[in-house]
Every structure is written in structure tokens, then in C-alpha cells.
């Protein structure tokens, strides 16, 4: 899924910096993009900065980042990331929130880093989407909006929403994004450059790394597994998975059967069903909502697949 193969235009990313943002999280998000441009010898990523008011945004440590323009009006982005810290639940700037909603309506992918997911949630933009947030803000957000599907992960990619816990987790997030855009070679060079060679999966420290969890060091399988966990609600095809892993579909299936004793797509379905099982036991979402959030066409298809794996229908899990 190399986006540059069909489109040579740079991928346009806007950073909306909220005063009090964490400088480390911002740097971990933007530096891999700068490195990608430099190592590729061309502009793969076009970056813009926005501040809510004034010409600059100020980090929690007092560092100033100059804004390119007001966060009012531009809609021509591929992705806009909100970076916030401090007390994001107290952010209340109606024009900025409205701009974010306009971006969503116009098909722009939205993301939040550190406290940024809180602002997206408060704007009503995380409904029906899996998400994560810095642990510091998680409990308060759950209390305020209990219907949210919050996971204790480093980052979550759910269709047109990207959320990241902050700290140095954006390094892992950007590795995943650049891999999806340009394959595995470029992000490997970027990781070497930053001496960040132990790439963590999106689930992060709450679960074992992919190598330890699944007991394989096969690079194509690890790449495919990470992509699978990042595409739960919008499952990819076998050809797409194989393309991202840089091998043929036949080779990928052979490796999955050899290393994990299942075909790639069967294993993918089980990952989605495990996520659905978690939602059934840990959330109040309806069966239909859970079916859609885990990539099933409807509750009937979901119920059949769930029963085949667990020996009982989803309704029985909740008693």
C-alpha cells in the first residue's frame, strides 16, 4: 500500500498545537517525518503548524513553535494531529472545535497525541472509534464519556482516527504510518537514525511485544500482524497485507501456516474476534456497534463468526 506509487504529491500533515503541549511528544511525532524527507531526498511529507491564537504555540516547557497560519479554514490536509498536554478537558475554543468537525466532514483523517485525543473526544469526533490517550487523562475521560472505546495502548489507528498516548510513543506510531505509506525499508532507516531499533507494537507495554506474544521472529509475519492490529474495523485484503510485508500472498500464507499454524486471513479474523470479546466483557456497546468496530458487515455475520470461535453467541457473554 505504497501511497507514493500512485500519487507523487506529498502527504499533507497539519499539527494543531495547543498551548501547554508536551514538547517530547511533539518532537517524537514530527522528527520521523523530517527524517523521511531527508533520507528519501524529496518531500514525502508536507508539514504545517497551527496555533489556536497568535503566531506561536508554547509547550509546557516554554518552547515556542511558530504557526504557519490560523487554524481556521484550511481543509486540504491528509491528516491533522492535535497535540495537547496539561488540562485538555478544559480546552474550549468553539472555532477550533468547529474547524476539526469540518475537517472530519471533509474526509480528513484526524489524530490526537498525548492530551490531543481528549480534545477530539470532547468535540464528539471519537464516537464509534477505538482510541487511546495518555494514562494521566484516561480515568477522567472515561468518567466523563463512558461510551468511548478507550484502550490502554501506545497508539490506536481506527480508520479515519489516530490516537497516541504521547511521550515517545509517537516514534512507534510514525514507524507504522510510514511503513503503510512507503513499505518497510524507509522506516527501518529512520529507526536506525534515531537509534530506536526496538519498535513497539501499538498495544505497547500492556501486552507482550509481537515477537514474544506469537513466538516468531519472521519479519513478514511480524509486519503483517502489526498491520492487522492497526486495521481492526477496516480489515485489509490478503494482497494488501502481503504488499505491506513485501512478499507475495502465497508466501505470506505459507509463513503464517508454518509459524502460527493458521492461514493469514483466519488468524486476522481471530484477532478481530478477540477484540470483540474484550468489548463484550469491558464495555456497554451494543452487539451491532461491536460488530462494526471489529470489521464485520453486521451483527448476524459477527454472531456466526463469534460462535464458531468461542462456542457460544455474543449474547451469552453478557448473560
- Cell triple for residue 72? 481556521
Q: Is 117 in the same domain as 219?
A: no
- Same domain (yes/no): 145, 215: no
Cα–Cα dist 83/79, whole Å: 13
Residue 6 DSSP symbol: H
Q: Which of 123, 149, 174 is the last residue of a domain?
A: 174
95 in a domain, yes or no?
yes
DSSP assignment of 213-258 = HHT---HHHHHHHHHHHH-SSSPPPHHHHHHHHTS-HHHHHHHHHH
The whole-angstrom separation of Cα 308 and Cα 305 is: 5
Band (151; pLDDT cuts 50, 70, 90): confident
Q: Is residue 60 part of a domain?
A: yes
Number of domains in the chain: 2
The verdict on residue 162 lying in a domain is: yes
pLDDT at 74: 79
Per the domain annotation, does 195 fall within a domain?
no
Q: What's the grid cell of residue 102?
A: 469540518
Confidence of residue 122 (pLDDT cuts 50, 70, 90): very high
What is the rounded CA–CA span in Å between residue 250 and residue 248? 5
In a domain, 198, yes or no: no
150 lies in the same domain as 218? no
Buried (b) or exposed (e) across 51-73, using 16+ Cβ within 10 A?
bbeeeebbbeeeeebebeebbee
For cell 507494537, the residue is 201
Contact 186, 192 (CB under 8 A): no
Here the CATH number for the domain that contains residue 299 is: 1.10.10.60
Do 22 and 167 fall within a single domain?
Answer: yes
Q: Domain check: are 116 and 220 in the same one?
A: no
Average pLDDT (34-48) is 96
- Per the domain annotation, does 185 fall within a domain? no
Whichever domain contains 7, its CATH number is: 3.40.50.880
- Kindly state whether residues 155 and 294 are assigned to the same domain: no
Closest among 175, 174, 133 to 154, alpha carbons compared: 133
Regarding whether 216 and 129 lie in a shared domain, the answer is no
Instruction: Quote the domain boundaries for residue 107.
Output: 3-174
Find, among 240, 278, 238, the residue nearest to 262 by Cα: 238
pTM: 0.76
Asked whether residue 47 is assigned to any structural domain, the reply reads yes
Question: Are both 143 and 212 inside the same structural domain?
Answer: no
Q: Are residues 157 and 223 in the same domain?
A: no
H or E element in which residue 79 lies: strand 79-84
Cα of 138 vs its chain's centroid, Å: 17
Least confident among 44-48, 122-126, 186-190, 193-197: 193-197
Domain shared by 13 and 142, yes or no: yes
pLDDT tens-digit series, residues 68-110: 866 567 788 999 999 999 889 889 999 999 999 999 999 999 9
The reply to whether 141 and 257 lie within a common domain is no
Residues 133 and 266 in one domain: no
On whether residue 196 sits in a domain, the answer given is: no
Average pLDDT over the chain, rounded to an integer: 88
Q: Is the pLDDT of residue 3 over 50?
A: no
Instruction: Identify which has the larger pLDDT, 159 or 213.
Output: 159
Amino acid at each position: 500500500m505504497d501511497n507514493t506509487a500512485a500519487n507523487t504529491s506529498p502527504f499533507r500533515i497539519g499539527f494543531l498545537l495547543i498551548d501547554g503541549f508536551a514538547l517530547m511528544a511533539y518532537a517524537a511525532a514530527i522528527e520521523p517525518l523530517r527524517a523521511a524527507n531527508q533520507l528519501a531526498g524529496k518531500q514525502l511529507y508536507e508539514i504545517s503548524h497551527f496555533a489556536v491564537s497568535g503566531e506561536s504555540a508554547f509547550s509546557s516547557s516554554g518552547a515556542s513553535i511558530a504557526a504557519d497560519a490560523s487554524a481556521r479554514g484550511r481543509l486540504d490536509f491528509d491528516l491533522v494531529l492535535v497535540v495537547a498536554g496539561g488540562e485538555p478537558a478544559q480546552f474550549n475554543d468553539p472555532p477550533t472545535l468547529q474547524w476539526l468537525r469540518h475537517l472530519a466532514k471533509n474526509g480528513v483523517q484526524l489524530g490526537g497525541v498525548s492530551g490531543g485525543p481528549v480534545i477530539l473526544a470532547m468535540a464528539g469526533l471519537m464516537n464509534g472509534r477505538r482510541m487511546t490517550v495518555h494514562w494521566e487523562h484516561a480515568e477522567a475521560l472515561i468518567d466523563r464519556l463512558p461510551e468511548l472505546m478507550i484502550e490502554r495502548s501506545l497508539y490506536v489507528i481506527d480508520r479515519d482516527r489516530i490516537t497516541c498516548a504521547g511521550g515517545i510513543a509517537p516514534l512507534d506510531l510514525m514507524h507504522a504510518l510510514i511503513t503503510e505509506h512507503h513499505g518497510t525499508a524507509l522506516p527501518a532507516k529512520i529507526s536506525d537514525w534515531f537509534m530506536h531499533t526496538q519498535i513497539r507494537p501499538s498495544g505497547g507495554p500492556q501486552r507482550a511485544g509481537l515477537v514474544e506474544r506469537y513466538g516468531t521472529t519472521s519479519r513478514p509475519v511480524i509486519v503483517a500482524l502489526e498491520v492487522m492490529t492497526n486495521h481492526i474495523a477496516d480489515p485489509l485484503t490478503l494482497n494488501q497485507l502481503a504488499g505491506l510485508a513485501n512478499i507475495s500472498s502465497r508466501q505470506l500464507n505459507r509463513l503464517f501456516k508454518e509459524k502460527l499454524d493458521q492461514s493469514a486471513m483466519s488468524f486476522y479474523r481471530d484477532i478481530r474476534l478477540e477484540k470483540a470479546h474484550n468489548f463484550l466483557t469491558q464495555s456497554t456497546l451494543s452487539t451491532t456497534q461491536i460488530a462494526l468496530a471489529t470489521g464485520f458487515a453486521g451483527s448476524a455475520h459477527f454472531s456466526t463468526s463469534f460462535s464458531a470461535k468461542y462456542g457460544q453467541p455474543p449474547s451469552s457473554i453478557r448473560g
